[in-house]
Chains A and B, each alone.
Chain A
């Protein structure tokens, strides 16, 4: 039997390992971070990381424009990223799944209404929506979650819609209806459990997407306002100093890459794990 380069177990373990490490960092940030992320020290501005010339172990990854320790800021950044990423994924998943479920099962006019609305929403630029929200309500974690959550529901809606449409005609659905099962019963008891596994895989991968989007929004100044230590903000700060102090942007970039990589690994491994089981049936 051919051995694949990265078995699914390896993917799941590696991905989970990275995710867990990041979560631990987020939870234990106040204890793990060497410095207060907001504390400025203008005497130690723009110090390079310890492995570059001029760096010391006092600031392992160097400092930024205001002398704030980069490592500490990055560690605290995990909090925002993970919280916003997960919460916005949950919001969009729930909204989208319910919409897709109803649209797929009821069909007819309701289907048209929901799915065409999804199409229209997909055409609407997310950034504009974020700008409007930021302008109207200001920047806060809650608003960020709201913006990202609302702009992501369509993916789930489409996915669930397709799944439900194919499941709708299976005999056990027909049987439940013949015994007097109402719409809500059929959707919750029979359809939902079937779509949850696939939904889980997509949702997992979407967290990575949400984190990237959060970083992008923060980078554009539409997320949490500075001096909040989010990775997007750090990226934004690092942008102007790409030649003078490249470590600021690069380290933030690496952090983002790492968590997205971990989530994708985990999600793909999960999908591979669930797939052959489904195929065996």
Chain B
């Protein structure tokens, strides 16, 4: 829904349907020696309360930048938010002073990362790290924090919590470290969890366990989750809604049930065809010709046009905006497959 429509709803309706997080036109640029380089542009999406949004893309798609920018975690000398807003709890996170943003981080919005070994402090024990957010945000004393920490470890399925509290990250396996990270993230009972490729570095069986854990936690705690991943299979099994990103833009948004049945954007179609080919058994895999353009070499118009079999002059003017193609679905293409053509704005 565009912001304009939002304001027209009655206050009661707005409150009930209001998404937990709403990102509007977020653009982030990197500081490069030759001038700013666009990392993401015009990204808009919503996360309804209690649902899982999967953000999917390949390298260079900007999915991690998006996730980190929600909490302004990228240092300002590397990149900055050039425009857009992130609405959470009635406030725009991009405009909050640092002090107040810190109260949001870890407390209302928590994040887990891909590499648990580098995300955990190697010289602090598990217990110390678990207690820290609770002591900082909730002002709980150490003994009480320890008790809660043990409960959390139990919640995330770590056996012998008391023993684990004394251990150091390098003494734990990859899957366990990830569980510890999840426990830390949940310690202050956040409303939203951002998971940036949480299982990419794990074995496939461990990955399945972690995803199951996240799913069960989501059900029990009513947690909303943004899951960043490159794995379409993970998204299919885990997410409620999907956003596909390409070269720094969101190019398709849809509920999971619909997008895999009927992908609209040619890029999504291409990706799904490859995955489908891998899972079926065919002679030759279909592939998407060409490669993702580098951020400083983006073509005018649609970034996917050079690789798209359907592209024509209409695609090279300006990048197609993310437009609704059916209730709950949006697509950034003038010719979404199976949907009426969108007249490109002049």
- Chain A residues within an 8 Å CB radius of B170: none
Q: Which of A1-21 contact B (CB under 8 A)?
A: 1-2
Report, as a range, how many residues of chain A touch the other chain.
Answer: under 10
Interface residues as binary, B74-109 with A (CB distance below 8 Å gives 1, 0 otherwise)? 000100000000000000000000000000000000
B31 interface contact, C-beta 8 A: yes
Interface residues as binary, B30-46 with A (CB distance below 8 Å gives 1, 0 otherwise)? 01000000000000000
- Chain B residues within an 8 Å CB radius of A1: 31, 77
Interface residues as binary, A100-111 with B (CB distance below 8 Å gives 1, 0 otherwise)? 000000000000
Report the interface size for chain B: residues with CB under 8 A from the other chain: 2
A280 to chain B, nearest CB (A): 10
Cα separation A146 to B70 with both chains bound (whole Å): 61
- Chain A residues within an 8 Å CB radius of B31: 1
Cα separation A2 to B31 with both chains bound (whole Å): 11
Chain B residue with minimal CB distance to A2?
B77
- Chain A residues within an 8 Å CB radius of B77: 1-2
B236 to chain A, nearest CB (A): 33
Chain B residue with minimal CB distance to A276?
B33
Query: What is the number of contacts between chain A and chain B, taking CB atoms within 8 Å?
Result: 3
Chain A residue with minimal CB distance to B33?
A276
A81 to chain B, nearest CB (A): 37
A41 to chain B, nearest CB (A): 58
A176 to chain B, nearest CB (A): 28
Interface residues as binary, B290-332 with A (CB distance below 8 Å gives 1, 0 otherwise)? 0000000000000000000000000000000000000000000
Q: Which of B11-31 contact A (CB under 8 A)?
A: 31
Q: Which of A137-185 contact B (CB under 8 A)?
A: none
Chain B residue with minimal CB distance to A1?
B31
Cα separation A170 to B214 with both chains bound (whole Å): 36
A9 to chain B, nearest CB (A): 12
A63 to chain B, nearest CB (A): 52
- Chain B residues within an 8 Å CB radius of A2: 77
Cα separation A2 to B76 with both chains bound (whole Å): 9
Q: Which of B34-65 contact A (CB under 8 A)?
A: none
A281 to chain B, nearest CB (A): 15
B79 to chain A, nearest CB (A): 11
A272 to chain B, nearest CB (A): 14
Cα separation A59 to B31 with both chains bound (whole Å): 54
A216 to chain B, nearest CB (A): 39
Cα separation A79 to B77 with both chains bound (whole Å): 44
Chain A residue with minimal CB distance to B31?
A1
A278 to chain B, nearest CB (A): 15
Cα separation A228 to B77 with both chains bound (whole Å): 53
Cα separation A216 to B77 with both chains bound (whole Å): 43
Cα separation A1 to B34 with both chains bound (whole Å): 12
Chain A residue with minimal CB distance to B36?
A1
Cα separation A2 to B75 with both chains bound (whole Å): 12
Cα separation A204 to B65 with both chains bound (whole Å): 39
Cα separation A8 to B121 with both chains bound (whole Å): 32
Cα separation A1 to B31 with both chains bound (whole Å): 8
B223 to chain A, nearest CB (A): 36
Cα separation A269 to B261 with both chains bound (whole Å): 57
B78 to chain A, nearest CB (A): 10
Cα separation A186 to B335 with both chains bound (whole Å): 55
Cα separation A2 to B77 with both chains bound (whole Å): 7
Cα separation A1 to B36 with both chains bound (whole Å): 11
Cα separation A156 to B90 with both chains bound (whole Å): 59
A277 to chain B, nearest CB (A): 11
Cα separation A245 to B31 with both chains bound (whole Å): 56
Cα separation A1 to B33 with both chains bound (whole Å): 10
A72 to chain B, nearest CB (A): 46
Chain A residue with minimal CB distance to B80?
A1
A205 to chain B, nearest CB (A): 26
Q: Which of B107-136 contact A (CB under 8 A)?
A: none
Cα separation A250 to B31 with both chains bound (whole Å): 47
B8 to chain A, nearest CB (A): 41
A168 to chain B, nearest CB (A): 22
Cα separation A252 to B189 with both chains bound (whole Å): 67
Cα separation A100 to B31 with both chains bound (whole Å): 38
Cα separation A275 to B295 with both chains bound (whole Å): 23
Interface residues as binary, B160-179 with A (CB distance below 8 Å gives 1, 0 otherwise)? 00000000000000000000
Chain A residue with minimal CB distance to B78?
A1
Cα separation A2 to B78 with both chains bound (whole Å): 11
B→A interface (CB under 8 Å): 31, 77
Can you list 3 A-B contacts with CB-CB less than 8 angstroms, sorted by A residue number?
A1-B31, A1-B77, A2-B77
A→B interface (CB under 8 Å): 1-2
In the complex, the 3 A-B pairs of residues with the closest C-beta atoms, listed nearest first: A1-B31, A2-B77, A1-B77
